[in-house]
Amino acid sequence: MKKRRRFLAPFVRPLLIGSFCGFVSSTSSCATAAPAISGVIDQSAASEDGVRLIYLGTGGWIFERGNDQVITGPFFSNPGLVKTGLLPIRSDSDVVDEFMSRYDVSGAHVILVGHAHYDHLMDVPRVALEHAPSARIVGSKTVKNTLGSWSGVGERVDEVNDIAGDERTVGTWMRYGAGVRIMALRSLHAPHFEGYTLFKGSRVRNLNAEPRWAREWPDGTTHAYLIDFLNPDGSIAFRIYYQDAVAPPPLGFAPRAVIRERPVDAAILVPATFDQVDWHPEAFIENLQPQRVFLGHWENFFSPPVSPADPLSNFAHFESRLERVFDGEWWKPELWTEFRFPTR
C-alpha cells in the first residue's frame, strides 16, 4: 500500500493543480471584472513625507518611506502549469535579476513572507543575496527550515510563529531600522478548491539541499502582517495590512485593540479562492477599517510576468462584494504600478 501511494503521488499532484486552475476558471460569473490599473497613482500632493507602494506582481510589493523600505515575497520565475506539476522547478536567477533591477532595494530592511509555497519563497534567496543584502527575512518556522543551509539566507530569518498576534491578542512589534515596525498575525491558507489545499504541510528540520519539486515547498504556518511607518516621535505615519493568501476569518485579523488606536491606511487583500471561505472580504473590511484597499496575487502566475496580466479568474463577484461594504478607493494593480500617498 505504501509503495502504491508513493508511486501515484507524482501523477496525482499535477492533476490536482490542473483541477485547481479549471475550478477557478469555471467559477467566473457572467459579470465583468473591473480592469486592472497601471502607471503612477499619485495622491501625495507633492508631499516630501509621502509613502510609495509598488506592485511587483503575485505577492510582491515594495513599501517605501524615505530611507525605510520593506519588500514582500517577490516572485518572477513563474514556471508553467505542466512544469510545476510534472518536472523539477527552481528560481530563474536571470529573470529575478532583470525584474528586481528596476528598483534599488539595496537598503531594504526586511522581506516579509506570509507562507512558504514556492510562489512566495522560491525567488526570495536570490533577491536577498543579490538585491537586498542587508534585509532580514520574516516568516514562519517552515520558511526558516525550507531556506535551511542551502540558500545562504536561512540564518537571516526572523521566525514569528510564537510572537504573532490575532484578533484578541496583541503580538510582538519587531523594529527594523528607525522608522519601521512589523507585527505578524496568525492566519491560515484557504483551500484552493473544494476544501483541498495544495502543498499543505510544515517543515521541522533545516534543508541542506534546494527543493526540486513544487510539493517540496509546503505552506507551513501562514501569517499576515501589519507594517507601521513611524515618525521620529514614535507616532504612526502610515499603516499597511498585508496578506499573501485568502484566510478564513477571524484568522488573519489584526488585534482589535491595535485597530481602535489606528485603523489601516492601506489594506492588501487577496481575491483568489475567496469563495472557499466565508466573509472574505467583508469581515476584513470590518476588522481593519481601511482607508484604501488593494488587490494582490490576482494574476495567473503560471504565465510569464507581463503587463497587462491574465487574471487567475474573473473576480467580478469578489469586487461587487467589496463595493457593497467598502465605499473608499480600491485598486487592482498591474505589474509595476506605483501608488504615492501622504502620511497622516
Is 23:313 a contact under the CB 8 Å cutoff?
no
CATH of the domain at 40: 3.60.15.10
Mean pLDDT value across residues 114-142: 98
* Residue 281 preceded by cis peptide, ω within 30: yes
pLDDT surpassing 70 at residue 17: no
The total number of structural domains in the chain stands at 1
- The residue among 122 and 1 whose pLDDT is bigger is 122
Q: Write out pLDDT tens, residues 147-162.
A: 999 999 999 999 999 9
| pTM confidence score | 0.91
Q: What is the pLDDT of residues 24-59, one digit of tens each?
A: 444 444 456 677 899 999 998 776 789 999 999 999
Nearest CA to 92 among 67, 104, 75? 75
Asked whether residue 15 carries a pLDDT value surpassing 90, the answer given is: no
Give the model's pLDDT for residue 310. Answer: 82
Give the start-end residues of each E strand in 157-270.
157-159, 174-176, 180-186, 223-230, 236-242, 266-269
- Give the per-residue pLDDT at 32: 63
Question: Rounded to whole angstroms, how far apart are CA atoms 162 and 142?
Answer: 13
Of 304 and 39, more confident:
39
- Residue 279's domain comprises 2-342
